[in-house]
Structure 1
Amino acid sequence: MTCLALALFAAWSLPSHAQSSAAAAASGSNLPTVSVTSSTDDDAGTEGSGSYAARSATVGSKVPLALKETPASISVLTRQRMDDQNMTTIQDALRYVTGVQSVDYGDGTAYFKARGNMLGIEFDGVPIVSGLQYLQQFDLAMYDRVEIMRGPSGVMDGAGDPGGTVNLVRKRPLDAFHVSTETQVGSFGSARQMIDVTGPLNKDGTLRGRAVLVGSDGLQSVDGTREKEVMAYGAIDYDITPRTTLSLSAGYQNNPISGLDYGASGVANSARTALVGRVPGSYSENFSPSWNYGYTSLQETNANLVHRFENGWQAQSTFFYRHELSKGDYAYSGPGASATGLSFYGEQRQRNTYDWFGTDTNVSGPVKLFGQTHTFTLGVNYTVQSTTQQSGFVSLDGPFAGGTFSLYDPNAISKVDVPFTYGANNRIEQLGVYGQARIHITEPLSLVLGAREAFYHQTAQTILPTVSDWSTQAQLNHRFLPSAGLVYDIAPWLTGYASYSKILTAQTATTYTGVNLPPRTGEQYEVGLKGSFLHNRLNATAAVFNINDNNRAVSDPNHPTGSIAGGKSRDQGVELEVSGQPMPNWNVYAGYTYLNVNYENDTPNLTDGTDPKHLFKLWTNYAFRQGMLNGVTVGGGMLAQTRITRGVEQGAYAIFNAEVGYRFNKHVEASLQLNNLFNRDYYIRPPGSFYSVFGDRRNVMLTVRSDF
């Protein structure tokens, strides 16, 4: 496929403007890479910028909007930073975003939180219900950037947790021929190869294409765990007219994992302490039998049609479909273990299928009134998730008293046949009509108003052991979700803002009589400052937020079999972030978060763990472009957080990484990255009654990249 794509792209001559761009790149001795240009409508694109600072973002607005103009906290993980930090998974990416917790689950998936709550997801601006948490995602090689808005986004996305929204924006075809490769070899025994080819498919450049292929095979930090990956992504952009563009894309990926390990549980006592002598200890130990396996496959299609009117208005429609198959057969320990490492084990077999469909249609543009230019956006979006889940569980009999096994000899566990004993179909639908107005009251003062009329419907039926009728689990009709914000231009390089957002989250818990609980409701208040310095090469933000979350489901004190909507929580915090280029050839990203979570008539969900009060993330990279060190790059970073609890307490820790690289010429560069420099022992996911995930021990990654 790759050879065919290369031949196809090379068969056409470059447009004249692409030739001149390439010639300019060749003549500029200080340019580190081949210059490429794009004729897409993605003004927020980061590919080829060479910077950690994004010009704008589309999350929360549907159209590219300067970060300073948005009364919300937004971080953008650019293509350059993903490359510099060798990020290949969504877990890698979000772990180094301000205020975000990225917690591995042990099977190639993870859960993600911000501001004390779970995050939702959009794909190219289309909100997808229940599409992020505990699910496999595509390799980052197919994405231009990752946008993250912290805080509720009910106007654009509908009912959901108030943690925020992740928007994954795919790469688009470029209008100049370009091929890049990436080869990575890791000290755990991993190898990864990527090739990315793009360019025009006809002589006038109105048809452009792109193909990205990834293959990887490697051992993981935990002994005996091996994960493979094959990913293919293709995209075509066609300019039907100079003002109308149709974009089509498709992706495929599969991820088999052998030696899958969910880790050890905590000791079965009131304190749920860790295993004796194991913290700190062997952070490479596999506590599961070698026959454990998991498998996930993803298929995805996307279509976007955009038309730009002469008066500055734009209309676009996007359609998204994804199918995911996840299956596995594995043994794991728990609940709990003895201090010396004896634990019950059970074997679980499961097969889950997920189908998502989402669509978003909107129009946006300027309106001139009272001597000012205002911007309006009107749209409607719809998303549906259909799942089929089948599972079976068998408690295994061990050789020790009470039927336990030793955590330190998991291969003594024999595999048994596990039939499916439970099955269910689930369906979640969400529909909304939304609008957003950006009204310039005066030249420096803007009022941002948003509103949504929201509909939500969740149903389920069992298919094993018997088939039941479909029943409603949660339903919301004609729920109004408003938001409001003020943005004031203090100076050309500095804005201040204040915002209010409404929260609405459906709940499936019921009273003891079986009546559905009302949704969680609440609001977020946020104030902040945003600066753009050095001709927009450096961005800085500071924000203070307060989230009130009401009607959370808690146990009914009078009826143990039911719940009541009596829980309340308040999440307060401060976020600081700097990203961009303080000097030529120097990129830096730093983010700090203080978070204080208070519960009233409620307790933390220790299945997902508590949140660190202090969280700091840093990455920097400097490229020498002259003198004896010309071509050398040096970089490094850290992640530091205070203690968290998920049964076992994980104390405060800091992880340091370092990198050195060399550009041989304008086409080829190599880098050597040393991760966990001081070999710090730590948990990403501390043990509870079940499961734990160790952080990677010290490791080295060699990366060679080429651009032509």
Structure 2
Amino acid sequence: MGITNELWRRGKRARTTNVSLPMRLTPLGLALCAVWAAGPVQAQQAPSGASATAATLPSIAVSAVPDATTEDSGSYVARSATIAGKVPVPLKETPASVSVLTRERMNDQDMTTIQEALRYVTGVTSVDYGDGSAYFRARGSQLGVEFDGVPLVSGLQYQQQFDLAMYDRIEVLRGPAGVMAGMGEPGGTVNLVRKRPQDQFHVSTETQIGSFGSVRQMIDVTGPLNKDGTVRGRAVLVGSDGLQSTQGTRDKEVMAYGAIDWDITPRTTLSLSAAYQVNPVSGLDYGAPGVEDSNGNFIGRVPSSYSQNFSPSWNSSYTSMEEVNGNLVHKFENGWQSNTTLFYRHELLKSTYAYSGPGATSDNLAYFADQRQRNTYDWFGADTNVSGPIQLFGQTHTLTVGANYSVMSDTERTGAIWSGQYFDLPYNLFDANSVPSVNVPFSTDADMVSGANNRIVQYGFYAQARIHLAKPLTLVLGGREAFLQERSQTILPSVTDWTTEAQLNHRFLPSAGLVWDVTPWLTAYASYAKFITAQTQTTYLNSALPPRTGEQYEAGVKTSFLGGRMSATAAVFRINDNNRAITDPFHDTGSIPGGRARDEGFELELAGQPLPNWNVYAGYTYLNEQFEDDTPDLTDGTDPKHLFKLWTNYKFSEGLLNKFSIGGGMLAQTQISRGVTQGGYAIFNAQIGYQFNKHVEASLQLNNIFNRDYYIRPPGNFFSVFGDKRNVMLTVRSDF
């Protein structure tokens, strides 16, 4: 029996600073003062005719709100993001496709996991794996990850993540992000940005009760820790316990997050944070494989309800995570800023389970394997950069220069028993509890045992310049000198020496973009970006394969209207991907770098507030994946050609419905296939809420209104994951 490879890997609020305004007390001066106090503008030189004897205004206090923070904004639209350039850049001035999932939308849609969040981001597919982890794709490839701008290798796919209660926003850049993030697949990058301590005392709670039998409680406390507010703190606690849509699966969680910001000087801030989370899961289910005929061809799915658990009740897993983060920011008097961040995360995964496959018979029989895993992961990341303005040729340009380093070390141990005394016959998939629990040792007593130490190191030096060629034109040039090494050591069934799986040195990753401000509210752009991805597959002679290489071409328009309350984007893209590893057609073992793919399509996104009490988000993606020589192993099978997402919420402020709110949305996609085909489907959700007073509000959300049966991950040789059945979620929030 074969074993699938997948089982073998596993803002601050406004603060006051004193700014001296050398402005004359004239009507023009008073007007400029009022505008400046209302928001940041570019200072203009005073007219030469201004009175020289007018009184000079004293210093005044000016509030400066960090541009990218979304907490307390009350909106689904973000005006800037840090993912494309390390510093906040207006989305309209970014020559790339960037979506920002704001804190307001996460709350309105009751999102608590990264799977739920990315499922409602334009162009992203979020595919649950069955054990609480997931994998994420965009534009035909996997996504990478950053935490507060620090890129981590292998930190997202198939990995547990923290509860979303600790994050302010989720930024998603679609397409290659090699300049800032390094080598990786061209799908894009996710940046998870933590909540920061606030300078006013604030406490909020969130209580959720679900119809599957789940309960979740969150409390968030923040405020100043000393009299003058130079030290601020924040603590977020989450506890949850409940059954899932799949019968018999119970998922628990405890999460704690704490953060401190310390203004060492008015221009220097040190931020420290730490988080801890545990996730025990019982009755976890990897689903049923597809039904095969005698020739191994898929002929359908195992007929059942879409909540059937196909695994024994003794299946279980336990995950714990700890992380710490430190950030030091200094703002120089000339407008430049330095930013240094250090990040460390540790994860432990223990699991014991049985799963079925490969394939199932037409009478619902399948072989089972008992498997045991114990994996530990350690990530360390560091990023340091300086950014600031440069005056040249009568224009103000922006330069960012920096370096980052990321290392992932893991130890994986896996054992499996699938034959012999207990597993010489297939079992009925509808009687999985008859599969015995066998003590699987990490030794040669198991039918298969594997253990390895792995270490991936990636680092590089990067620079990005925003060059203002003329008033409406900005040229964005970026480059990175990249380095990567991947090594491994077998520790089971025997210990071997360390070997180098992949090593790439002095690889240059360029990017270029041109931004044209057609009007004050409309921007057009075009961009180019190159990517490189190391490959660990080998030829039949055990020689290393060359890296995957390629480039993306993208063009689009972005607009901001209704006073900045609404934003809309439209983009077309083409990604050329070369040298993907495919099975050697002339030898029984090994791979060749023969795969070529072209992923192209277009995206549309709309977000914001058409009216002060109305928030709306909509995103559509068309993706066409083309493979040279019809090489089917280039695709995962879970990338739909058409993908549409919608969410809206309206709060009544007068009339009979005063204090009520209504909302709803949908997710629709065309068919996908991993052997068994999942047809196109649409899921509809609805919500009604009521605000009892300025401190307490409640909402009732009905998910999957029409109880649509569907797979998030359709069956293949192994595994499948159902989408949630119709369910109700009651959420009560307080805010003091």
Confirm or deny a common fold (TM above 0.5): yes
User: Does the aligned pair in 2 maintain the 1:399–1:405 contact within 8 Å?
Assistant: no
Instruction: Tell which deviates more after alignment, 387-396 or 683-692.
Output: 387-396
Q: Give the structure 2 partner of residue 417 of structure 1.
A: 439
Q: Distance in 2 between matches of 1:96 and 1:201?
A: 37
1:642-699 per-position Cα deviation (integer Å, ceiling 9, x unaligned): 0000110000000000000000000000000000000000000000000000000000
Q: Displacement of 1:553 after TM fit?
A: 0.9
1:79-122 per-position Cα deviation (integer Å, ceiling 9, x unaligned): 00000000000000000000000000000000000000000000
Q: 1:196 aligns with which of 220, 229, 235?
A: 220
Secondary structure in structure 2 of the residue aligned to 1:410: helix
Q: 1:303 aligns with which of 326, 344, 368?
A: 326
Secondary structure in structure 2 of the residue aligned to 1:678: coil
Q: Distance in 2 between matches of 1:547 and 1:289?
A: 43
Q: Distance in 1 between matches of 2:65 and 2:379?
A: 26
Question: In the alignment, is residue 622 of structure 1 matched against residue 615 of structure 2?
Answer: no
Question: In the alignment, is residue 534 of structure 1 matched against residue 562 of structure 2?
Answer: yes
User: Does the aligned pair in 2 maintain the 1:518–1:565 contact within 8 Å?
Assistant: yes
Q: Distance in 2 between matches of 1:273 and 1:113?
A: 27
User: Does the aligned pair in 1 maintain the 2:281–2:317 contact within 8 Å?
Assistant: yes
Q: Displacement of 1:601 after TM fit?
A: 3.6
1:418 maps to a residue whose letter is V
Secondary structure in structure 2 of the residue aligned to 1:141: helix
Q: Distance in 2 between matches of 1:560 and 1:625?
A: 69
1:96 maps to a residue whose letter is Y
User: Does the aligned pair in 2 maintain the 1:72–1:150 contact within 8 Å?
Assistant: yes
1:563-583 per-position Cα deviation (integer Å, ceiling 9, x unaligned): 211110000000000001011
Secondary structure in structure 2 of the residue aligned to 1:93: helix
Q: Displacement of 1:398 after TM fit?
A: 8.8
Question: In the alignment, is residue 241 of structure 1 matched against residue 265 of structure 2?
Answer: yes
Q: Give the structure 2 partner of residue 98 of structure 1.
A: 122
Q: 1:374 aligns with which of 393, 397, 407?
A: 397
Q: Distance in 1 between matches of 2:427 and 2:421?
A: 5
Q: Displacement of 1:186 after TM fit?
A: 0.1
Q: Give the structure 2 partner of residue 683 of structure 1.
A: 711
Matches within 5 A, 1:466-477: 466-477=494-505
What is the TM-score normalised by the length of structure 2? Answer: 0.90
Q: Displacement of 1:274 after TM fit?
A: 2.8
1:667 maps to a residue whose letter is H
Instruction: Tell me which structure has the larger Cα radius of gyration.
Output: 2
Q: Displacement of 1:472 after TM fit?
A: 0.4
Q: Distance in 2 between matches of 1:105 and 1:273?
A: 23
1:441 maps to a residue whose letter is L
Q: Give the structure 2 partner of residue 29 of structure 1.
A: none
Question: In the alignment, is residue 117 of structure 1 matched against residue 145 of structure 2?
Answer: no
Cα RMSD (Å): 1.6
Q: Give the structure 2 partner of residue 442 of structure 1.
A: 470
Q: Give the structure 2 partner of residue 665 of structure 1.
A: 693
Q: Distance in 1 between matches of 2:420 and 2:215?
A: 38
Q: Displacement of 1:264 after TM fit?
A: 0.4
User: Does the aligned pair in 2 maintain the 1:354–1:385 contact within 8 Å?
Assistant: yes
Q: 1:518 aligns with which of 540, 546, 559?
A: 546
User: Does the aligned pair in 1 maintain the 2:422–2:436 contact within 8 Å?
Assistant: no
Q: Displacement of 1:40 after TM fit?
A: 9.0
2:501 maps to a residue whose letter is Q
1:514-558 per-position Cα deviation (integer Å, ceiling 9, x unaligned): 221111001000000000111111110000000000011112222
User: In percent, how many aligned pairs have the same letter?
Assistant: 72
Question: In the alignment, is residue 403 of structure 1 matched against residue 401 of structure 2?
Answer: no
1:73 maps to a residue whose letter is S
Question: In the alignment, is residue 364 of structure 1 matched against residue 390 of structure 2?
Answer: no
Cα–Cα, structure 1 residues 216 and 40, in superposed 2: closer, same or farther, change >3 Å?
Answer: farther
Q: Give the structure 1 partner of residue 344 of structure 2.
A: 321
Question: Mind listing any 5+ residue stretches in structure 2 that lack a counterpart?
Answer: 1-13, 18-61, 443-448
Q: Distance in 1 between matches of 2:421 and 2:394?
A: 80
Q: Distance in 2 between matches of 1:126 and 1:164?
A: 15
Q: Give the structure 1 partner of residue 170 of structure 2.
A: 146
1:428-458 per-position Cα deviation (integer Å, ceiling 9, x unaligned): 0001000000000000000000000000000
Q: Distance in 1 between matches of 2:635 and 2:132?
A: 18
Matches within 5 A, 1:137-536: 137-269=161-293, 270-275=296-301, 278=303, 281-395=304-418, 403-420=425-442, 421-536=449-564
1:377 maps to a residue whose letter is T
Q: Distance in 2 between matches of 1:258 and 1:375?
A: 52
Q: Distance in 1 between matches of 2:569 and 2:16?
A: 41
User: Does the aligned pair in 2 maintain the 1:554–1:602 contact within 8 Å?
Assistant: no
Q: Give the structure 1 partner of residue 576 of structure 2.
A: 548
How many residues are treated as equivalent by the alignment? 671
2:298 maps to a residue whose letter is R
Q: Displacement of 1:43 after TM fit?
A: 2.3
Q: Distance in 1 between matches of 2:133 and 2:493?
A: 28
1:122-143 per-position Cα deviation (integer Å, ceiling 9, x unaligned): 0000000000000000000000
2:343 maps to a residue whose letter is F
Question: Mind listing any 5+ residue stretches in structure 1 that lack a counterpart?
Answer: 1-13, 18-37
What is the TM-score normalised by the length of structure 1? Answer: 0.93
Secondary structure in structure 2 of the residue aligned to 1:561: coil
User: Does the aligned pair in 2 maintain the 1:312–1:366 contact within 8 Å?
Assistant: yes
Q: 1:136 aligns with which of 154, 160, 166?
A: 160
Cα–Cα, structure 1 residues 457 and 356, in superposed 2: closer, same or farther, change >3 Å?
Answer: same
Matches within 5 A, 1:639-658: 639-658=667-686
Q: Displacement of 1:249 after TM fit?
A: 0.1
Q: Displacement of 1:422 after TM fit?
A: 1.7
Q: Distance in 2 between matches of 1:220 and 1:239?
A: 44
Q: Give the structure 1 partner of residue 92 of structure 2.
A: 68
Question: In the alignment, is residue 572 of structure 1 matched against residue 600 of structure 2?
Answer: yes
User: Does the aligned pair in 1 maintain the 2:301–2:715 contact within 8 Å?
Assistant: no
Q: Displacement of 1:210 after TM fit?
A: 0.1
User: Does the aligned pair in 2 maintain the 1:15–1:204 contact within 8 Å?
Assistant: no
User: Does the aligned pair in 1 maintain the 2:291–2:298 contact within 8 Å?
Assistant: yes
Q: Distance in 2 between matches of 1:509 and 1:176?
A: 54
Q: 2:621 aligns with which of 593, 602, 606?
A: 593
Q: Displacement of 1:229 after TM fit?
A: 0.1
Q: Distance in 1 between matches of 2:361 and 2:518?
A: 61
Secondary structure in structure 2 of the residue aligned to 1:175: coil
Q: Displacement of 1:396 after TM fit?
A: 5.2
2:372 maps to a residue whose letter is R
User: Does the aligned pair in 1 maintain the 2:582–2:634 contact within 8 Å?
Assistant: no
Q: Distance in 2 between matches of 1:242 and 1:386?
A: 38
Cα–Cα, structure 1 residues 238 and 364, in superposed 2: closer, same or farther, change >3 Å?
Answer: same
User: Does the aligned pair in 2 maintain the 1:343–1:406 contact within 8 Å?
Assistant: yes
Q: Distance in 2 between matches of 1:96 and 1:621?
A: 15
User: Does the aligned pair in 1 maintain the 2:595–2:634 contact within 8 Å?
Assistant: no
Q: Displacement of 1:512 after TM fit?
A: 1.8
Secondary structure in structure 1 of the residue aligned to 2:430: coil
User: Does the aligned pair in 2 maintain the 1:15–1:205 contact within 8 Å?
Assistant: no
Cα–Cα, structure 1 residues 610 and 398, in superposed 2: closer, same or farther, change >3 Å?
Answer: farther
